Structures are given as C-alpha cells and as structure tokens.
Structure 1
Amino acid sequence: MTKTLLGKLDPKCVRSLDIPRPPEGLIEGFKALGDATGIVSDVMDHLNIVGVLPGSLLRPTIAGATIVGPALTVRNTVLPGHPNDNARAHINGMAEIEAHNIAEQGDVLVIEGVPGVSNMGGISAQVGKRQGEIGAIVSGGVRDVAHSRRVGFPVWSSELSPVTGKWRIETIEVNGPVHIHGIRVNPGDIIVADDTGVCFVPRERAAEILELSRKRAAMEDARCDALDRGVPIRDLPSAS
C-alpha cells in the first residue's frame, strides 16, 4: 500500500512513512507471556536497560487491557500564541492524524505530549482503532475517555484533561524519537502495556529480552505449580 501525507504537517517533520516492523513471532511471543510487564521489567533490570514506567504514572483507561506492538511516534510541543487568538484564527497545530494515516495493523501510538491539555480525544482514538492501532501511550493529557472506551481503544496517559489541545499544541515530528517521562522511545520499539505499567522494549534488544522473559516466566510457573501442590516454602524452586 502506498502511504501519503494528508497535508496536516510539514513533510520534513515526518522522518519516514514506514516504521521498522518486528520479526515474525516476536509480538506473539510477548503476548504469550500474559500479564507481562513485571517479567519484562525484571529482565530489563538484569540487562541494565532503562525503559519501564509504572501504571500509577501512565494510567490505563480500560482496566484489564493488555497490548503488545511496535511504536508509532508523535512529538508535540506548545503552539505559539494565545489559545483564544489561535481559536479565532483557526490555527490548529495538532497533526497526530498523520500518524494514524500511516499506521499499520498492530501499531501502538506513542505521543510525547503537552501537559495540562488533551493530546488526543475520542475521535482520534476511533480513527486510530479503524486504522489498525491497538492502543496509545501518551505523556500528557487525553480526553473523551468514555468514547475511547466505547470503541475499545485503550490509552495509557499521565493526565486526563477536557481542555482541547487544538489551539494549544503543535505537532513537530512523526516517526522520530520521542521521550516519555525521560525514556527515549524510537519508532518500532516494542510496547508492552497492562494494568501494572508500560515497558518500552528497544527493538534491537527485543529478541534477547523475549528469550529471557520466557525463561523467567517458566520459572515463575514452576514455583506457582509447586505452591499449588503443597510443596513447603523451603523446597520451592529458586526465584533468582
């Protein structure tokens, strides 16, 4: 499929119309871990990789939602000018629609956003859902939570705000590196998110992290099985 821009953003601000795709089986492997962020976080600790944020900071809008997919990134900043003047002049700097337009099935929208205002709303969530995105991670505010819940599009955000970003936000880059509360996220990095938090898995280390996560999950399953069988605590398989 040929991808094109919609003209909402200077073409120079779009790093690429494509993002690196994960190798076959990688996404399915992370999904098979189930409630995975704890296991993945432990593995990233052992590998000295910083890339995990708690659910208390990035709160999910849909309880029980779990997503795994490659990052499709958007970077926002504050739009110059007073919001009232921008509104009267119809100066709308938001352009996450360009990311929606180039999304592929299974992508996760990751927005480095502006605090205090909404960086995406319900219609944007519905567009993302239709384009095949499975959810969004937003540093900053989002709104229309009931709408995004209704269409089954989970969002992990640091804030909720009804204040529109339309006259307050300028999108300055799509498909480039972003920073989510100090963590660098590149297009194509693997996002693993659930009720507990969000793991940003560097794509170049993803296969290694998955392999070690599988081993750790098997070890934890063995401990749980031993507990169910009544094995004394002193005899449980090692947790290290």
Structure 2
Amino acid sequence: MDEAKVVERLNTVGVTALSDALDRLEIAGQLIGLAPVARGMKFSGRAFTIRMLPVGLTGGSVGDYIDEVPPGAVVAIDNGGILNQTVWGDILTYVAHTKGIAATVIDGACRDSDRCVALNYPVFSRCVTMRTAKDRATAVANNDPIQLAGVRVEPGDWLVGDSDGVVAIPAPHLEEVLAIAEQIEVAEKAILAAVDSGKRLEEARKAFGYHSLQTGMGRTCA
C-alpha cells in the first residue's frame, strides 16, 4: 500500500464524507467531541496509541513515549475524556513537529495552543486548559488498543481530522471506507452541478442516489 497516496486520498475526501461512509458500512468511527485547536488544521495517519492512567503511587512520565513515535504517525491519547488536566503541551508539540509526526488526537485536554497554531501542528482534543498532568497522570501503555470518545482504536488504525472533527477507520476496512467516501464526493459535486443547471435539489439527490450512499448496508462491522 502506498501510504502517501492513501493520506492524499483521505485528505481530499475529508471527514464528513468519511463519516458518511462509516455510517454506510455501519462502523462506529466518529470521535464525537474532539475538535481542532484551530480551524483549518487537517491530518491523516496511522494511530500510535497511548493510554493514560492516574499516577497513583507509581510515578511516571506523561510524554517520554514521544521518542518512539515514527514520522507520519498520529499520537492518539486515551486520557478518559478528563478535562481538568492536560497531557499535551508546547514541548511535545515542538518535538512532534520536528520529528514529522502527523498530528495528535486526545480524548482529554491540551495546552500551549498558541505553539500548535504557530507551527501549524494539528492537535485535536476536547478542550484547552492550563493545568498540567504532571504528578496527576502517566502513560502506562504504548500501542495497545485504546478508546477515544467511545470508539475502540487499534494501533495502526487510520485517524483523519479536519475542521469538522475526527474519524477513526479500522485498518482492515480502509479501502472500503475510502471508496464509498469518494463515491459520495462525486455524487455531491454532481448534485451541485445539477442544481446550478436548474434542477430541483430533491430531484438531483434522487438522480444520483445520494440517500443510499449514506444508508446502512444492514450489517455490523467489528
């Protein structure tokens, strides 16, 4: 698989078409509640998963795993949706940007958002807060299955984000999801062209089978 070409295709169709394709295949992949630090941020890449837990009595680091993340990967952090501490800040942003990491997605909070914007490094999270997770949380597992916004994400699954949010695509279903998303994009462009030519929207949608492209196929994918 030419992963550079996959990234190009994913970025071209965007999150809304991919979300519709996931619905068509009845795959739960929309990471509801996770949003970019700044509009216009966009990324696609494979998940390098991190699971956080409260530090307890063990101690530990929030971010030393960053040295293990390969270029092009997406740091995917499960911090259980906690909003009162951040597990990502300006040093991690700088290192990730320097290494060519694609983006960071956090089920939780980030901070130092100005650094993300200045470097145009995509960070998606539930919120921004100033409060550190130092002595509050620690990374306990790398590249294990995690949960982001109620969606199971396996290491190597594809994550895609833009101004409309983030979706997770199970790696075994990537081509299937992409193909349907591209069909949806073609249909939407054709519908707009038909409307420009004077056709009613209802007629144009029916002519290009738009509703069927977003309707579940009557199966459930793991």
Coarse TM-score class (shorter-chain normalised): 0.7 to 0.9
Equivalent positions of 1:1-240 (< 5 A) are: 23=3, 25-33=5-13, 36-54=14-32, 57-81=33-57, 93-98=60-65, 100-113=66-79, 115=82, 116-236=84-204, 237-238=207-208, 239-240=210-211
CA deviation profile, 1:52-105 (whole Å, cap 9, x unmatched): 023xx1121021111111111111000015xxxxxxxxx85224332x222223
Task: Give the SS at the match of 2:31.
Answer: strand
Q: Which has the higher helix share?
A: 2
1:107–1:133 Cα contact (<8 Å) kept: yes
Change (3 A) 1:234 1:195: closer
2:62–2:87 Cα contact (<8 Å) kept: no
What amino acid is aligned across from residue 28 of structure 1 in structure 2? E
What amino acid is aligned across from residue 32 of structure 1 in structure 2? T
When the two chains are superposed, the root-mean-square deviation of aligned CA atoms in Å is: 1.9
Matched residue count: 206
Q: Percent identity?
A: 25
What amino acid is aligned across from residue 78 of structure 1 in structure 2? P
**Counterparts of 1:175 and 1:95 in 2: how far apart (Å)?**
15
Task: Give the SS at the match of 2:100.
Answer: coil
Change (3 A) 1:176 1:234: closer
In structure 1, the partner of 2:215 is none
Q: CA deviation at 1:119?
A: 0.6
**Counterparts of 1:80 and 1:51 in 2: how far apart (Å)?**
32
What amino acid is aligned across from residue 38 of structure 1 in structure 2? T
Give structure 2 stretches of 5+ with no counterpart: 212-222
CA deviation profile, 1:19-58 (whole Å, cap 9, x unmatched): xx8756322221221xx2111111111111001023xx11
Task: Give the SS at the match of 1:25.
Answer: helix
**What is the TM-score with the length of structure 1 in the denominator?**
0.80
**What is the TM-score with the length of structure 2 in the denominator?**
0.86
